[in-house]
Amino acid sequence: METKILTYTAKDFKSDQQVRWCPGCGDYAIVNSLQKVMADLGVPPHKTAVISGIGCSSRLPYYMKTYGFHTIHGRGAAIATGVKAANPDLTVWQITGDGDCLAIGGNHFIHSVRRNIDINVLLFNNQIYGLTKGQYSPTTLKGKVTNSSPYGTIEEPFRPAELTMGARGTFFGRLLDVDLKNAQQVMLEAAKHKGTSVVECLVNCVIFNDGAHGYLAERNTRPDRTVFLEHGKPMIYGVNRDKGLILENGRLKAVTIGENGITEADILVHNAEDPNPTLHWELAMMQGPDLPIALGVIRAVRAETYNDALDKQIEEVKAKSKIKCFDDLVDNLEQWEI
Amino acid sequence: METKILTYTAKDFKSDQQVRWCPGCGDYAIVNSLQKVMADLGVPPHKTAVISGIGCSSRLPYYMKTYGFHTIHGRGAAIATGVKAANPDLTVWQITGDGDCLAIGGNHFIHSVRRNIDINVLLFNNQIYGLTKGQYSPTTLKGKVTNSSPYGTIEEPFRPAELTMGARGTFFGRLLDVDLKNAQQVMLEAAKHKGTSVVECLVNCVIFNDGAHGYLAERNTRPDRTVFLEHGKPMIYGVNRDKGLILENGRLKAVTIGENGITEADILVHNAEDPNPTLHWELAMMQGPDLPIALGVIRAVRAETYNDALDKQIEEVKAKSKIKCFDDLVDNLEQWEI
Amino acid sequence: MEKIKVKEVDNVVVLFAGDSGDGMQLTGTLFSNVSAVIGNEISTFPDYPAEIRAPQGTLGGVSGFQVHIGSSKVYTPGDLADVFVAMNPAALKTNIHKVKKGGVIIYDEDSFLENDLTKAGFTTDNPFVELGVSETINLIPTQLTTLTQKSLEGFGLDGKSILRSKNMFAFGLVCWLFNRPMDKAEHFLENKFKKKPSVLEANIKVMNDGYNYGNNLHLSIPTYTIERSSDTKPGKYTSISGNTTTAFGLIAAAEKAGLELFLGSYPITPASDIMQVLARRRDLGVKVMQCEDEIAGIATAIGASFAGCLAATSTSGPGLALKSEAIGLAVMSELPLVVIDVMRGGPSTGMPTKTEQTDLLQALYGRNGESPAVVMAASTPDDCFHYSYMAAKIALENMTPVILLTDSFIANGTSLWKLPKLADMPEIKPNYVPADYKNYNAVSRNEETKVRYWAIPGTEGFEYRNGGLEKDYVKGSISTAAVNHQKMVDTRAEKVQNVKYSIPELEIIGNEDADLLVVGWGSTRGHLMDAVSSINEKSKNVALAHFNYINPLPKNTEEVLRKFKNIVVCELNSGQFAAYLRSKIPGLNIMQYNKVQGQPFTAIELEEQFELILKK
Amino acid sequence: MEKIKVKEVDNVVVLFAGDSGDGMQLTGTLFSNVSAVIGNEISTFPDYPAEIRAPQGTLGGVSGFQVHIGSSKVYTPGDLADVFVAMNPAALKTNIHKVKKGGVIIYDEDSFLENDLTKAGFTTDNPFVELGVSETINLIPTQLTTLTQKSLEGFGLDGKSILRSKNMFAFGLVCWLFNRPMDKAEHFLENKFKKKPSVLEANIKVMNDGYNYGNNLHLSIPTYTIERSSDTKPGKYTSISGNTTTAFGLIAAAEKAGLELFLGSYPITPASDIMQVLARRRDLGVKVMQCEDEIAGIATAIGASFAGCLAATSTSGPGLALKSEAIGLAVMSELPLVVIDVMRGGPSTGMPTKTEQTDLLQALYGRNGESPAVVMAASTPDDCFHYSYMAAKIALENMTPVILLTDSFIANGTSLWKLPKLADMPEIKPNYVPADYKNYNAVSRNEETKVRYWAIPGTEGFEYRNGGLEKDYVKGSISTAAVNHQKMVDTRAEKVQNVKYSIPELEIIGNEDADLLVVGWGSTRGHLMDAVSSINEKSKNVALAHFNYINPLPKNTEEVLRKFKNIVVCELNSGQFAAYLRSKIPGLNIMQYNKVQGQPFTAIELEEQFELILKK
Ligand SMILES: Cc1ncc(C[n+]2csc(CCOP(=O)(O)OP(=O)(O)O)c2C)c(N)n1
Ligand SMILES: Cc1ncc(C[n+]2csc(CCOP(=O)(O)OP(=O)(O)O)c2C)c(N)n1
Ligand code: SF4
Ligand code: SF4
Ligand SMILES: [Mg+2]
Ligand SMILES: [Mg+2]
C-alpha cells in the first residue's frame, strides 16, 4: 500500500508576477531561497500567508503563489500577528525591511517578539531605505553619507539581534544573501521554531548602499570572516576550519586549533537553547577583524507562543463556562419579565 | 567680595496646582523627590522642561513650577526629543508610565534611547494602566487578572532594563517610590548623565494594582531583598550589610561575608560604566528569593549625545560653508539674468 | 397616624451625586434596575470625573448618576432632577443647576460641615443660600453618616467600610420615596456581592434601615408611584449599557455569520468597556487582543479579517485619528472590518469623560485619498446592539470597513433592553467567493453589487495577493494606469453607495406637513424626540428626521428633506452633519443648533430653540 | 546648401521618455535649464515609475520628463508634445497618446529591435502601425546607440558607460532642433559632473556630436526658435522644483522671524526631497531630524515649537493620516506648526509616484473633536516658496498649525523662479508674550485677535504648563466645565477664522460677467488658466477663481461666488472642494469636473468640458 505524500517544489510557490527589483538586488536571493524552503517545509501554498509592509523588500508577497498581503508601512508585524492569532492553522511569514521593521514598525516588532506569536520574520537588512531612494535607516552605520544625511548620520544604529533580545526574543538567526545554502538552513529552522523567529537577512542594495555587507560578501574571505553557528556544534570556522571561539574571562576570543595547545575540544559548543541571552548577545555582537561575524541560528529558545496560550485559555474557559452561544449569554444576564 | 550663588529649594519647583492622584498613590513620592532633586541640581525652573504623555503619572508636569507640557499618549519621548534637540540649553525631563512609555510609546522610547538624546526619563512602572482604570500593561506579569485580562494575561512582560539595553541605552537606573533617599540619588545621577537616562520608578497603584511591588515595599525586609548599586562600590546589601554578590561561572551569586571564607574583597565592585551590557543585564534581571533586586544606577556609560552631535555637525558645516544666510543660499543657486 | 400623600406621576428624574468614593454609580444602577424590574422605562446617564480619585470632597472628584424612570417610553435620562441626593457640598455645587423647580434635595448633613464646605470652595456656612437655591426646592437634611454608623453598630466592620455603606442608606430612602420593591433590591445586591457575604449583609441592613427611616419618619415629602410602562412590549428585559450591547452585537453577528469574532483594541476612555466585555467571552471563542496601541489594534483586526474572522476594533476619537491610515488599507484591500468610535470631548485629549458628537467628519473624511467607508451611528444604549450587529452585517456583506459612532452618553448610559434571540436576527451572508470561481484575484467582484469576493486563507485554489497599492480592475495586479485608477476609485465609491439599497428609509416622526423639520443623528434622538413631542402636544408644527445611517444616507433622504421649508440640524458639535448634508443635498434651508459642552442636549433648551424658530 | 526652415513659435512641448536607466530626468532638466537661461518661460513635469528599477525595457520602467517652454507665460508642462524623444519601445507605447498631431518623434532605432519590442509587449515588428500612430506624425529614426558609440570611440570608456551617454546625444540633437545655446548647456554639465571629469568630457563630446548631427544632416524637420519671454520680469532666475522652494520658504521665514528652523520628518514619496533639501542646510543651522516615523516627525516638531523654533513637518497622504492625532495636540496647545502634505495618489499606499488632490478633506477634517487648523495650497513649483513662507508666517503670528498642501505634480515639476531677497519679504512677528505680561498661563491670549501668547522655555517668569486637555479660559488649568468648553471651542475656531483678515482677497481672472465661473485650487491653476484663456480668446464667457487659501476662505469668497449663476469646480479628486464650498456657502449652483487618474488635467479636456457647459 502506498501513502500519497505531498511534496512541493519551489515552483509551486512562485507566482506569475515578474520580479521587479533592480538587477543585482540582494532580495532576489532571498525570494528564491524562501520558495525552496517552503517546498522543503511541505506546508501547502494555501496554508501559507506571506505578510509584508512597504519597501522594496516588502514587495515579496507578489512573487509568491501563496496567500499574500502587501500592507502598509511598518504594520506588517501587527497584521501578521492578527493573521496568526485569528487563524493559527496558517504558517505566517512576515517580510520586512530595516526601515519597515525598525523605524516605523519598531513598536509592533518588539511587541510581536515579546508576545512570541508564532510567525517567521524575514528582516531584509540592507541598512538603507531602498524604495524611497536612499535615506538612512535605523541600521545605517553612524557617519554614513546618504541622501538624507549629506554630512553623515549622527545616530548609533540598532543592531537587530540586540533589540530582539531586549524584547525577550526566543529566536534570532542571521543570514547573508549570497550564501544560499546556509541561508536556506536558517530559514528552515526559523520556520520550525514555535514563536517569533527573527531572521536578519543581510542583503545588498546595489543602488543606494552597494557593498554595505561587502566585508562578508566575498566568497574567498567569507569563511575566515564569518562563523556559521549551529546548535550543539562547536563554533569552528575558517577556510581550513581550524579557527574557533573560546571564552576567556567571560569574553569571546578567536583561536586557532593546533596553536597554543588549543584542540577542538576547547572550542565552545553552541547552545542556542540557553534561556539566558548574554552569550547569545556576545555572539551576535562579534565583529571583525578580531572575531568572525556570526551567521546561523544564534538563539532558539522554547517558550509558549501567544497563539497557543490564547487557544489554550479559550479552551479552558469554554470547558468551564455554561455559556456556549449568544442565546446562553443573554439568558445568563440579570433579567426580568415585563 | 561675595558671589551670589543661585540656590533653590523644592518649593521653587512646586506649582500651585492641587495634586490629584489617589491618596496613597506611589506617584506622590516621586514628584516630591523630583522637586528636591531639581533644587539640588540647581538648574533654574525656567531652564527646566517637564514633558509627559498621558496617564496618571503623566499629570506630573502640572505640579511643577517649570515649563511643562502634558502632551498625548505615548508621544512624550518624541516630543521631549524635539524640545531638547531644538533647545539644548533646557534640562528636559520626560515623565511617562509603563503604558505610555512601553505600549503606545514603545517605538519613540527605543529610538530616543538609541539616539542617546540628553533627556531624563522617569518611567513610572506600576505594572498597570491607572488612568483608564486597570487594564494590564506591557509590564504586567504573565497570568495577572486585570480588568482586561479576566482570565489572566497570556503575555510575557517587557523588562524595562532589558529593553533599554536592547536599544543600546547608556543609562539605566531603578528606584522604589517608598525609598526616598535612594530614589533622589538615582534621579540626581540620571540628571547628571549626558544622554538618555532611563529611570524605572517602581510605584504602587493603590487602586488597580496594589502591592505589585510588595516584595520590596516593606521597610524591614527591603535591605535583604534589594541591593543598591553605586558605581565603584562593592555590591553589598542586607540589614547587616553582610551580604554581597560575586560571579561564579559567569553567573551572579549571593553570598554572605564571613561565611565560607568570603571577605569583603571578594565582593564584586559595580562598574556602571562598562560599555558591555551583559553584566548590567544580569544585575538588572536579578530576582528573589535567591538574589536581591537591583536598585540604583545599574548602567551609566559615556557616549556622544544626539543633541551634541547635531550641534557639532552644524558648527562644522557652518565653519566650512560660504552660505551664511538665506540671501547667500539663493545667490549660490545656478542662475541667470533675464 | 396621618396618611402619607402619594403622588402618581408619569416619569421622574433622580440624580445621585457624591464623591468618587461614595458609590454613586452603584446606587444609581441599583435604583434604575429595581425600577426596570417592576416595569418602568428607564434611561440613565453616569457622569464621571476625569480623575480616578481626585482629592476627596473636591469639585474635581464629583461623580454623578442620573436616572429617568417612566410609565411610558423614556427617551433620555431627563433634563432636570425631581429628586437629587447630594452626598457632599461639592456634589451640591456641581449639580445644583440640574434640579427642577419644586424638586427635592436630600443631603447628608454630616458631610456639610465647615471643612467639607471649604473643600468645595464655599465661603459661608450656608451653601444653599450661597448658591441661591430656589425656595421652591424642598431640602431634606439627613444624617446619613450617623444613621449608617448606628445601623451597623455591632457588625464588627471597620470605620471605613461603614462609611462606604452610607450610599445604601440613601438608596433605601429613595426606594421608600418611590415605592420600590425591597425584595428586588435585595436580589440585585445579592448578585453584586455574591462573593463578599459580610459586605452584602451590611448593605442590606443599611438599605432597609434607610427605607424604614423614610417610612417611619413620615418625611414631609410626598412619595411617588410610577405605573408600569404600557409602551414596553411584554418580554424579558435587562438594564444595560451601550458599550455592553455594542459588544454583544458583534458576538451575535459573528455567530450568525458562522465566523470567529476577533477584536484588536487598546484601552481608551470611554470605549474600554467594549474590549473588556468581549475579553470575558473566551467561552464564546472571542479572540480579543489588547494591543500595544490603536494602530496595532486595527492592524491585528485587518490581519484577522484577511484571515477570515469577523474583525473589529474599538476606540475613541484620538484612537480613531491614529487608525486613519489603516482604515485606508481596509478600504483599498476591500476587507470587512467594524471600527467602533465611542466619541468623547475633543480636540486632542480634550475631555475624555465627557460626551460629544465631534468625530463625524473625521469618520467620513479622515483618510488620505478618495477613501469611502460606511459610517453609521447608534442612538440609545439598547440600540447600540442593533447597530453594531448591522455594522458587522454590512461589513461582511459588502466587504468594506464600517465605522460605527456611539458616544460617552449612550456608551455608559443604560436603558432597558428587550432580550433578543439569535434566531430572530436578520441573516448575515458574507460575500464569499463562489467555490467554482475561476482565476480568482484580489479584485474579483460581483459585477452587479461591485462587492469583492472574499477568499479565506487556508482554502485551496484561491491563493491571492492583496494590498494597499492600486490594482488593475481585471487582473488584480499593481497598476498605475490612469483610466484604471479612475475606475477603481469609482468602483469603491459605488460599492459603498450601494449599501443604501439595504438600509431602511428615512422616517419622519411627527407631522409630515410641519413648519419645521428637526434633524439629528446618533445619540441625540431621545432629547430631540422629547422636545418635538412636547411642542407637538401644543401645536403640530414640528417633525423629526433622525439619522443612524450617514454614509450612505438612506436613499429617500433628499426627497424627504426637500419637503420641508425649514430644517434645523441639531448636534453636539459645531455643525458637522449640517455641513455634510449641505454638501450632499444642495439647496436646502438648513439652520443649526449646536452645543459643544461635553454634555447632552436638554429637551428644554431644544424646545425653546424650536419655539424661537417657529416664531420667526 | 538649402536653407533650413525655422519655425517661430510661441511655445513648444518636448517630452523625453525612456527606461529608468536612460537618464531622462537629467536630459529633461538640462533642456529646461538651457531654455530658461535664454529667457524662455518653462514648466516641467517628471513622471517617475513606481519601481526603483523595473526590469529594463519594460512598461513598468518607463521614466518620462515633459518640458513646456514659451515666449510668454507658461502655466503648465503642456498637454501634448510637439517633440517626443523615445528611447525605447516601452517609452513609445506608454507615451504615444501624449504626442500632438503633426508632432515629431525622435527614436533610437538601435533600441527598437525585436527583443526590445517584445519586452514592451509589441507583437509585430512595426510598433508605429501597431499603435496606430497618426500619419501626420513625423518619425525621425536615429541610431542613438551606434552614434554614441562612435562618438566615444577611443575614449577608453567601458560599454556600459558609453551606453549611459546616449541621452546626451539625444539632448544635443534636441538642442539643435530648438536652437539652444551649447555653451550654456556645457556650463550646466560642468556643474553637474564637476567631480567626474571623465564623464563630463564624454558627455560634452556626445552632446556636441548630437548637435552637429542635427546641424549637418539637415534632418527634414523644421527647427524652432522661441523668443525670450516678454512676460518675465527682468531679474535673476533659476529653474527649481516645488519641493525645493517649499523648503526654501521655511528657511526664509525662519530667518525673517529670527528663529531657528526645525523639521521633523520621515521619508515618503513624493515629499522626501523637502527633508533632503533642508538636511543639506546645516550651514544655516537648520535642524532636521529624520525620525522613526511620521508621528515622531510631527511630535519632535511640536516639541521644537514648544521650545521656541519655527517648526515644521513634511509628508504625503498616508503620513498625514498618521499625524492626525498630533495635529490635534498642536490645535489644542495652540502652538505654531507648519505641516506640509505633498499629495499623491490614494487611498492607502495607492499610487505613490502619481499626483492627486485627494487629501483636502483629510487636511480640513481628519482629526477628532472640533479641531480647526489653517489649510492652504500652493499652485506652481515657484509659488510653493511663497505659500510655504506664508504658512510659516501665519503659524507664528496666529499660534496655530497650518497645513500646506502641494502635490506630486508641482513638487517634482520645475518652473522658473525669480530669485527673491529676504529684505523684500513681508515681516514675520511671532505672537510673543509681552515682556511685562502678568500671570501668564497656557491660555493667555490677545483678546482681540484671540491669538495665544507664546512664551519660550528658558525665559524667566513665564513658566507655564501646556497640554492637550481642555483648559479653563481664564486660569489655563484643566477644566471640564460645560460652558467653558464651548467658549474654548469657539475661541479656537474664531482665531483660525480671523486669519481671513490677513490673507489676500479672492480675485477673478477673466470676465466678471462671464456665464461660467471656473473654480479650482492648488496645483491645477496652470491648466485652468490655459483652458480659460483659450476659451476667452473666442468668447468672453468664462472666468476663473482660483484658491490658495482654503481654511479660512478669503473673506470676499461668498460675495464673489454669488455673482455667478454657474460655477464649475474642477479638481483632481471626486469633488472635495466642491463639497466644502457647498457646506460653507449654501445656495450656489455648483457643478463639478473631477478626474482621479493620478495625472494632472489637460487644458484640452478642460476646454472641452467648459464648452459643453456653456452650450447647455
Ligand atoms: C506611512 C508611510 N510612511 C512612509 C512611507 C514611505 N516608505 C515606503 S518604504 C520606506 C522605507 C523602505 O525601507 P526598508 O523598509 O528598509 O525597505 P527596503 O526598500 O530597503 O527594502 C518608506 C520610508 C510609506 N509608504 N508610508
Ligand atoms: C491615543 C490614546 N490612546 C489611549 C488613551 C487612553 N489612555 C490614557 S492613559 C493610558 C494608559 C495609562 O497607563 P500608564 O502609562 O501606565 O500610566 P498610569 O496611569 O499607570 O500612571 C491609556 C491607555 C489615550 N489617552 N490616548
Ligand atoms: S533600490 Fe536597492 S533594495 Fe530596492 S530593488 Fe533596488 S537594489 Fe533592491
Ligand atoms: S489610579 Fe493608581 S496610578 Fe492612578 S492616581 Fe490612583 S493610585 Fe495612582
Ligand atoms: Mg532597507
Ligand atoms: Mg502604569
What's the pLDDT score for residue D1?
Answer: 35
- Tell me whether residue A127 is in a domain: yes
- Tell me whether residue A195 is in a domain: yes
Q: What share of chain D is helix, strand, coil (3-state, %, to 5)?
A: 40, 25, 35
Out of B103, B138, B150, whose CB is closest to C280?
B150
C-alpha cell at C319: 484612537
Domain ranges, residue B124: 10-217+301-307
- B-chain residues within 8 Å CB-CB of C290? 135-136, 148-149
What's the pLDDT score for residue C502?
Answer: 96
Query: For chain A, what is the largest distance between any 2 Cα atoms, rounded to a whole number of angstroms?
Result: 93
For helices C166-177 and C24-37, angle between their N-to-C axes, nearest 10 degrees: 30
Q: Is the pLDDT of residue A1 over 50?
A: no
Mean pLDDT of chain A: 96
Which of the 8 DSSP states describes residue B19? P
| Chain A interface includes B310 (CB < 8 A) | yes
CB neighbour list of residue A70: distance below 8 Å, 6 or more residues apart: A52, A54, A58, A59, A61, A62, C465, C466, C467, C468, C469
Q: How far is CA A80 from CA A59, A93, C285, C457, in A?
A: 15, 8, 20, 13
- Ligand 4 centroid, distance to B202 Cα (angstroms): 13
Give the number of the atom of ligand 1 that is nearest the alpha carbon of residue C325: 1
Closest alpha carbon within chain B to A115: B155
C-alpha cell at C183: 425584595
CB neighbour list of residue C187: distance below 8 Å, 6 or more residues apart: none
Q: Name the H helices within D100-165.
A: 114-119, 127-131, 144-151, 159-164
What's the pLDDT score for residue D43?
Answer: 87
Q: Is the pLDDT of residue D470 over 80?
A: yes
Report strand pairing: B226-229 vs B197-202: unpaired
Closest residue CA from atom 1 of ligand 3: A130
Output the tens digit of pLDDT for each of chain B's 338 residues: 444 556 899 999 999 988 889 889 999 999 999 999 999 999 999 999 999 999 999 999 999 999 999 999 999 999 999 999 999 999 999 999 999 999 999 999 999 999 999 999 999 999 999 999 999 999 999 999 999 999 999 999 999 999 999 999 999 999 999 999 999 999 999 999 999 999 999 999 999 999 999 999 999 999 999 999 999 999 999 999 999 999 998 899 999 999 999 999 999 999 999 999 999 999 999 999 999 999 999 999 999 999 999 999 999 999 999 999 999 999 999 888 87
C-alpha span between A89 and D219 (Å, rounded): 69
Residue B61: give its domain's CATH number.
Answer: 3.40.50.970
With CB atoms and an 8 Å threshold, state whether C480 touches D365: no
User: Residue with C-alpha cell 517652454?
Assistant: D69
C-alpha span between B323 and D122 (Å, rounded): 53
C-alpha span between C576 and C584 (Å, rounded): 12
Out of A20, A129, A151, whose CB is closest to D55?
A20
C-beta of residue D469 within 8 angstroms of C-beta of residue D478: yes
- A-chain residues within 8 Å CB-CB of C291? 78, 111
User: Which residues partner with C545 through β-bridges?
Assistant: C508, C519
C-alpha span between B134 and B136 (Å, rounded): 7
CB atoms within 10 A of CB D420: 21
What's the pLDDT score for residue A26?
Answer: 96
What's the pLDDT score for residue C221?
Answer: 67
- Ligand 3 centroid, distance to A47 Cα (angstroms): 29
What's the pLDDT score for residue C376?
Answer: 98
Ligand 2 pocket mutation pick from B31, B71, B73, B146 by most atoms within 8 angstroms of CB: B73
What's the pLDDT score for residue D306?
Answer: 98
- The backbone torsions φ and ψ at residue C50, rounded to the nearest 5 degrees and listed phi first, read -75, -30
User: Residue with C-alpha cell 459603498?
Assistant: C496
Give me the number of domains chain A comprises. 1
The predicted-structure confidence for C306-346, as pLDDT tens digits, reads as follows 999 999 999 999 999 999 999 999 999 999 999 999 999 99
With CB atoms and an 8 Å threshold, state whether D597 touches C486: yes
Q: What is the CA radius of gyration of chain D?
A: 26
C-beta of residue C72 within 8 angstroms of C-beta of residue C41: yes
Q: Which amino acid is residue D495, in one-letter code?
A: K
The predicted-structure confidence for B119-162, as pLDDT tens digits, reads as follows 999 999 999 999 999 999 999 999 999 999 999 999 999 999 99
- Give the angle subtended at the CA of D414 by the CAs of D408 and D420, to the nearest 5°: 115
C-beta of residue C243 within 8 angstroms of C-beta of residue C408: no
Q: Is the pLDDT of residue D79 over 90?
A: no
Q: Is the pLDDT of residue D290 over 90?
A: yes
C-alpha span between C445 and C457 (Å, rounded): 17
Calculate mean pLDDT across residues A112-126.
98
For helices C144-151 and C166-177, angle between their N-to-C axes, nearest 10 degrees: 100
Out of A86, A323, A334, whose CB is closest to C304?
A86
- Tell me whether residue B5 is in a domain: no
C-alpha cell at C376: 453609521
- C-chain residues within 8 Å CB-CB of D588? 586
What's the pLDDT score for residue D5?
Answer: 65
- Ligand 5 centroid, distance to D266 Cα (angstroms): 14
Closest alpha carbon within chain B to A167: B163
Which of the 8 DSSP states describes residue B147? T
What's the pLDDT score for residue A5?
Answer: 56
Ligand 1 pocket mutation pick from A73, A108, A125, A200 by most atoms within 8 angstroms of CB: A73
Dihedral angle of Cα C143, C145, C150, C153, to the nearest 10 degrees: 180
Q: What ipTM was assigned to the predicted interfaces of this complex? A: 0.94
- Ligand 2 centroid, distance to C345 Cα (angstroms): 16
Closest alpha carbon within chain A to D283: A151
C-beta of residue B62 within 8 angstroms of C-beta of residue B79: no
What's the pLDDT score for residue C84?
Answer: 93
Q: Which amino acid is residue A197, in one-letter code?
A: S
- Tell me whether residue A324 is in a domain: no
What's the pLDDT score for residue C2?
Answer: 42
Residues in chain A: 338
Closest residue CA from atom 6 of ligand 3: A22
Q: Which amino acid is residue B112, in one-letter code?
A: S
With CB atoms and an 8 Å threshold, state whether C489 touches D596: yes
With CB atoms and an 8 Å threshold, state whether A111 touches B138: yes
Report strand pairing: D236-241 vs D414-418: antiparallel
The predicted-structure confidence for D162-184, as pLDDT tens digits, reads as follows 888 999 999 999 888 888 888 88
Task: Determine if residue B238 is left, alpha or beta; phi over 0 gives left, psi from -120 to 50 gives alpha, anything else beta.
Answer: left
For helices D197-217 and D144-151, angle between their N-to-C axes, nearest 10 degrees: 120
Residue in C232, C292, C470 to test binding to A, most A beta-carbons within 10 Å? C292
- Tell me whether residue B279 is in a domain: no
With CB atoms and an 8 Å threshold, state whether B163 touches A107: no
* Short-list D106, D116, D112, CA closest to D172: D106
Coil/strand/helix, residue B290: coil
* Short-list D452, C372, D296, CA closest to B106: D296
Where is pLDDT greater, at B181 or D5?
B181
Q: How far is CA C37 from CA C332, C520, D258, in A?
A: 48, 31, 70
- Tell me whether residue A56 is in a domain: yes
- Tell me whether residue B258 is in a domain: no
* Short-list D174, D171, D172, D228, CA closest to D38: D228
Out of A110, A151, A157, whose CB is closest to B106?
A110
The predicted-structure confidence for D184-218, as pLDDT tens digits, reads as follows 888 889 988 888 888 899 999 999 988 888 877 76
- B-chain residues within 8 Å CB-CB of D300? 78-79, 81-82, 85
Dihedral angle of Cα C341, C343, C349, C350, to the nearest 10 degrees: 170
With CB atoms and an 8 Å threshold, state whether A159 touches B167: no
Out of A72, A131, A151, whose CB is closest to D52?
A131
- D-chain residues within 8 Å CB-CB of B16? none
| Chain D interface includes A158 (CB < 8 A) | no
C-beta of residue C364 within 8 angstroms of C-beta of residue C521: no
C-beta of residue D533 within 8 angstroms of C-beta of residue D509: no
* Short-list B136, B130, A104, B53, CA closest to C289: B136
Calculate mean pLDDT across residues A204-221.
95
- Ligand 2 centroid, distance to A102 Cα (angstroms): 24
C-alpha span between A122 and A103 (Å, rounded): 15
Where is pLDDT greater, at B312 or D46?
B312
Q: Which amino acid is residue C295, in one-letter code?
A: I
Instruction: Transcribe B55-108 into DSSP letters.
Output: SSGGGGGGGBSSEEEE--TT-HHHHHHHHHHH-TTSEEEEEEEHHHHHTTTHHH
Out of C51, C54, C267, whose CB is closest to B148?
C267
Ligand 3 pocket mutation pick from A126, A127, A129, A201 by most atoms within 8 angstroms of CB: A126
With CB atoms and an 8 Å threshold, state whether C460 touches A46: yes
C-alpha span between D389 and D412 (Å, rounded): 19
Bond from prior residue into B289 cis (ω within 30 degrees of 0): yes
* Short-list D243, D242, D280, CA closest to D261: D280
Give the number of the atom of ligand 4 that is nearest the alpha carbon of residue B21: 5
Q: How far is CA C415 from CA A226, C412, C513, D188, in A?
A: 69, 10, 32, 76
Q: Is the pLDDT of residue D390 over 90?
A: yes
Q: Is the pLDDT of residue D232 over 80?
A: no
Calculate mean pLDDT across residues A8-30.
93
Residues of chain A with pLDDT > 90, as a percent, come to 93
Q: Is the pLDDT of residue D389 over 90?
A: yes
- B-chain residues within 8 Å CB-CB of D465? 15, 17, 61-62, 64, 67-70
Give the mean pLDDT per block of 10 residues along chain C (616 residues): 61 91 90 87 83 79 90 84 92 91 88 91 91 85 90 86 90 88 88 88 90 76 74 86 97 98 98 98 98 98 98 98 98 98 97 96 98 98 97 98 97 93 98 97 97 98 97 95 96 98 96 94 95 90 97 98 96 98 95 96 94 91
- Residues touching ligand 2 (Cβ under 6 Å) are B 54-57, 73, 97-100, 124, 126, 128-132, 137; C 266-268, 294, 318-319, 322, 349
- Tell me whether residue B261 is in a domain: no
The predicted-structure confidence for A213-248, as pLDDT tens digits, reads as follows 999 999 999 999 999 999 999 999 999 999 999 999
Coil/strand/helix, residue D78: coil
Residues with CB under 5 A from ligand 5 (ion): A 97-98, 126
